[in-house]
Amino acid sequence: MNAFRYFEAATPENAIGLLAGEPYGTFLAGGTLLIDLMKQRVELPDALIDINRLPLAEIEEQGGALHIGAMVRNSDLADHPAVRSRYPMLSQALLSGASPQLRNMATVGGNIMQRTRCPYFRDPELPCNKREPNTGCGAIAGYHRMHAILGTSDKCIAVHPSDMCVALVALDAIVHMESTAGKRSVPLLEFHLLPGDTPEEETVLQRGELITAVEIPDLPFARRSTYLKVRDRASYEFALTSAAVAIEVKDGKIRAARVALGGVGTKPWRAYEAERVLVDSAPRGSVYRQAAEAALAGARPGSQNKFKLELAKETIVRALEQVEELP
Ligand code: SF4
């Protein structure tokens, strides 16, 4: 790990100001990923602005929406009564990720900013276009069993690691940010970028911006929702595939649907194609299968991860069946 200066910020304005004076510095929240990346010499900030004391750890209902401070810990969000009752897919997604110890430290803002677990990215000795542009991608011709099959490019196929973000894109969440230039908000769906020719650019967050909150709109039918995660072992493991789904059924037809996928996309993946198949159809297995086929129609698997294609479809179908059976 390299030497770095350490600052403790008291307010968002203080944190933004401190970072503005440290061109090679970065914010330190829960530190559950940043410290690993510093030890592995993947990230080498020369200053850490500790934002753990910022007053951004509240969860509040505001005009029907749920306003979640960026410093809310993952475990607190998962256990919050409003999340458990109004957005169960989000609570389940959070509880399916990491370990209790990590969830107690990891923050909502940090979870959104998670970086890939691609092993080539995490070893500075290996080629990786994301870590060091134009050095090549070791994974495409190498080990890529865990990698993405949707949204890939010939520069990068890294899968997005977050479970929480999959549920949040299904729920139309909005990210709020602040900097010396003012405040702005973007839908989470637009926050993460596809790798394209510039996999090193991962989000729309600009240098100097601080994520202050995430907002989830009122979505009454999300009370009947689920997050289904398939992985190599039962806990403390990233998704091979996952699905966050919600459907609203009235008079024998699906009136509204949300489908988002994890473990398969280079960003948290909203499956609009699947939602279009579901809406105005009867809730039955053959329709769920059609929706799953539509969701994966654009997939480009490699030799080691082509199993994800069928696994992701089955995950969607089972998640929809589970939601249909909810009271
Ligand atoms: Fe790097 Fe992306 Fe290739 Fe992994 S998949 S080696 S992160 S460029």
The residue assigned the tokens 């809730």 is: 283
- Whole-number CA gyration radius for the chain: 20
DSSP secondary structure of 158-213: PPP--SHHHHHHHTT-EEEEEETTEEEEEEHHHHB---TT-TT--BSPPTT-EEEE
Q: How far is the CA of 45 from the centre of ligand 1 (A)?
A: 21
Q: Is the CB of 121 under 6 A from ligand 1?
A: yes
pLDDT at 327: 85
Q: How far is the CA of 148 from the centre of ligand 1 (A)?
A: 10
pLDDT in tens, 223-282: 999 999 999 999 899 999 999 999 999 999 999 999 999 999 999 999 999 999 999 999
- pLDDT of 8 above 90: yes
pLDDT in tens, 167-199: 999 999 999 999 999 999 999 999 999 999 999
pLDDT in tens, 49-88: 999 999 999 999 999 999 999 999 999 999 999 999 999 9
Q: How confident is the model at residue 118 (pLDDT cuts 50, 70, 90)?
A: very high
327/197: higher pLDDT:
197
- Ligand 1 pocket check: which of 117, 156, 266 to mutate, most ligand atoms within 8 Å of Cβ? 156
- pLDDT of 309 above 90: yes
- pLDDT of 1 above 90: no
Averaged pLDDT score across all residues of the chain: 97
pLDDT at 168: 98
Q: Is the CB of 210 under 6 A from ligand 1?
A: no
Q: Is the CB of 305 under 6 A from ligand 1?
A: no
Mean pLDDT computed over 283-306:
98
- pLDDT of 162 above 90: yes
N-term to C-term CA, the chain: 52
C-alpha to C-alpha distance for 104 and 183, rounded to whole angstroms: 28
Q: How far is the CA of 241 from the centre of ligand 1 (A)?
A: 19
Ligand 1 atom closest to residue 137's alpha carbon, by position in its atom list = 3
The residue assigned the tokens 């994966």 is: 296
pLDDT at 122: 97
Ligand 1 atom closest to residue 120's alpha carbon, by position in its atom list = 6
Closest CA to 225 of 79, 96, 325: 325
- Ligand 1 pocket check: which of 42, 115, 137 to mutate, most ligand atoms within 8 Å of Cβ? 137
- pLDDT of 30 above 90: yes
Query: Are the beta carbons of 1 and 39 closer than 8 angstroms?
Result: yes
Name the residue with the closest Cα to ligand 1, atom 1.
128
Mean pLDDT computed over 100-108:
97
pLDDT at 178: 98
Residue 35 Cα to chain centre, angstroms: 19
Q: Is the CB of 114 under 6 A from ligand 1?
A: no
Ligand 1 atom closest to residue 136's alpha carbon, by position in its atom list = 8
Q: Is the CB of 238 under 6 A from ligand 1?
A: no
Q: How confident is the model at residue 202 (pLDDT cuts 50, 70, 90)?
A: very high
pLDDT in tens, 139-158: 999 999 999 999 999 999 99
C-alpha to C-alpha distance for 310 and 108, rounded to whole angstroms: 31
C-alpha to C-alpha distance for 103 and 83, rounded to whole angstroms: 16
Residue type, 120: Y
| Sheet (strand 241-250) strand order | 225-230, 241-250, 253-262, 269-270
Q: How far is the CA of 20 from the centre of ligand 1 (A)?
A: 30
Residue type, 312: A
pLDDT at 70: 98
- Ligand 1 pocket check: which of 121, 150, 198, 202 to mutate, most ligand atoms within 8 Å of Cβ? 121
Q: Is the CB of 212 under 6 A from ligand 1?
A: no
- Burial of 53-79, coded b for 16+ CB within 10 Å and e otherwise, reads ebebbebeeeeeebbbbbbbbbbbbbe
Q: Is the CB of 128 under 6 A from ligand 1?
A: yes
Task: Look at residue 223 and give its three-state secondary structure.
Answer: helix
